[in-house]
Amino acid sequence: MVKDKATVVIVGGGATGVGILRDLSMRGIEALLIEKLDMVNGASSRYHGLLHSGARYAVRDQEAARECIEENQILRRIGKSCVEATTGLFVRVEGDDPQFEADWVKGCAESGITAKHISPEEALRLEPNLSRKLLAAYEVPDGAIDGFRMSWQNLQSAARYGGRYKTYTELIKINVESGAVKSITVRDNVTKEEYEIECQILVNAAGPWAGKVAEMAGLECSVSPSKGTLIAFNQRISNRVVNRLRKPSDGDIFVPHGSITILGTSSITIEDPEDTSTSWDEVENLMKTGEGVFEHLRDYRILRVFAGSRPLYVPKGAGAGRNASRGFVTIDHETNGDGLKGMMTICGGKFTTYRLMAEKFCDVLAPKLNNTAKCRTAEEELVPAVSEAEKKAARQYFPSYGVNLAATRLGVEKFKDVVETLKKEPETREVICECENVTMAELQRIAAEPTSHSIADVRRRTRLGMGTCQGNYCALRSAAIVNKLFKNKLEDCSDSLSDMKNFLQARWKGITPVMAGKTLREACMNCCLM
């Protein structure tokens, strides 16, 4: 049964998919994005959150390095509320190859990346926790980026131009007639209804799952999922991104986010992109390497550990894992030899270059629809910013430090809605999550969204349970509120205790592999509280 249609249907709600939706919508092309779960639940939510300067690739992959530094500047401009402009340091410590430093300096200059040499003494003044075995340091324009927030802001921008998206809508079949894609069959993973969506072009932007989507059309796609494990520390170890100045390897990036720091990452080729398992051995490997940069790393409490899959494009005969290119590729399955009209795939790349990937991809797609509009995604801000006057007027209704956090999470319209609720209903000023200063009013506003079906969905939009307590304090409070709202929306979402259990289990999954020392003591305390 045909229930919906769009000129272009995009499969995959990660950074690449939402970037393509925004680009197509701004060019005036009717587009619909589908995601089998909630938005930003795959690779785009499971990485270190580094806004690359490109310096990491300056020796081996200068094309990727140039792309990163150019997009770095664009994202700082169009997504101000998503970026923390920390800057970064590349540091060489005892045991690191001095020849690589020389090659790296040359590579940065050739790639257009500013790498300012500073003395070890100056580096230690800027970041006192660095190793005393520091031999060389350089400042680069790295930063930190909130992948959840930037992806949702792309969706909001796309919606202003007519772009549509559906969560919990899973692709289960690609329907082909006479060598062309006619429609797709999807399943609503909430209601379990199955139906067809007609389209002229199907875009495969499924990241690590791109190969599985291609298989549905009887095609092959050389995507090699590479699992990366990361560690989140319950403290801001440094105020700048810190990279180890050596050939890219495991455990050589520290990225500060708010009050925490993320150390990453490993690179393990895997068969199943759903594999987000972690182990003590992986954690220990990262910790041993990380101690080369921060000698007292084990003095900091590990908040949790998590893993995600990179969508590396690895054609036959090319290197995998660390040796695979971090570039991206556009595949037109009509002209590449597959002979299937109406299907295109994009894979590879990284979060920092998502906008550029979308631009280059849409430059190929748009002419197929006789659309000659130019890309404008680098020119316009993703969402309007909440003004300082609005934030000042709202301070009386929010907890300390809560205004700026809520403003950047919500955007102009939702922020106004929440402030209005806080004014009219004083009881909604209750703080549900102290770690992230989430009020009841904000929780209610996001839970009421048509895309919210669980506490986990609300978590990704508000950062509920992502702070120090990892949901132990806010889970019970939020479950009752969310359940009440969900009962009014959908009967299938009314089991608040199961929902809360799943929410806490996801948090517990990240704690189990590091159950030792301070982390173990905190887990014991939380069990007693629960």
Is the separation of the CB atoms in 229 and 278 below 8 Å?
yes
Neighbours of 459 (CB within 10 A): 26
| 36, 159: one domain | yes
Is 510 within the bounds of a domain?
Answer: yes
Is 239 within the bounds of a domain?
Answer: yes
| 25, 161: one domain | yes
Report the alpha-carbon distance of residue 42 to residue 310 in Å, rounded.
9
| 263, 249: one domain | yes
pLDDT tens, residue by residue, 203-241: 999 999 999 999 999 999 988 888 999 999 989 999 999
Among candidate residues 8, 24, 291, 39, the one with its CA nearest the CA of residue 151: 39
Report the alpha-carbon distance of residue 394 to residue 279 in Å, rounded.
45
| 464, 516: one domain | yes
Is 377 within the bounds of a domain?
Answer: no
CA 443 distance to own-chain centroid: 21
Q: Once rounded to an integer, what is the mean pLDDT over residues 325-348? A: 91
Q: Where are the alpha helices (DSSP H) in 178-276?
A: 210-216
Angle, in degrees to the nearest 10, between helices 455-462 and 496-511? 60
| 274, 138: one domain | yes
Region of 471 please: left (phi>0), alpha (psi -120 to 50) or beta: left
* pTM, full prediction: 0.93
Query: How would you write 314-354 as a 3-class SS string?
Result: CCCCCCCHHHCCCCEEEEECCCCCCCCECEEEEEECCHHHH
pLDDT tens, residue by residue, 57-111: 999 999 999 999 999 999 999 999 999 999 999 999 999 999 999 999 999 999 9
Q: How confident is the model at residue 517 (pLDDT cuts 50, 70, 90)?
A: confident
Helix (H) or strand (E) holding 501: helix 496-511
Report the alpha-carbon distance of residue 371 to residue 366 in Å, rounded.
5
Output 518 or 80, whichever has higher pLDDT: 80
Which residues make Cβ contacts (< 8 Å) with residue 366, sequence separation at least 6? 24, 27, 29, 372, 373
Token duo for residue 359: 């631009």
| 241, 97: one domain | yes
Token duo for residue 370: 């006789």
pLDDT tens, residue by residue, 458-515: 888 998 887 777 777 787 788 777 777 766 554 444 456 676 677 677 777 888 888 7
Dihedral pair phi/psi, residue 44, rounded to 5°: -70, -10
Is 135 within the bounds of a domain?
Answer: yes
Neighbours of 285 (CB within 10 A): 15
Is 99 within the bounds of a domain?
Answer: yes
Whether the link from the prior residue into 265 is cis, omega within 30° of 0, is: yes
Report the number of distinct structural domains present in the chain.
3
Q: What is the CATH number of the domain that holds 255?
A: 3.30.9.10
Q: Give residue 287's domain range.
A: 83-142+227-309
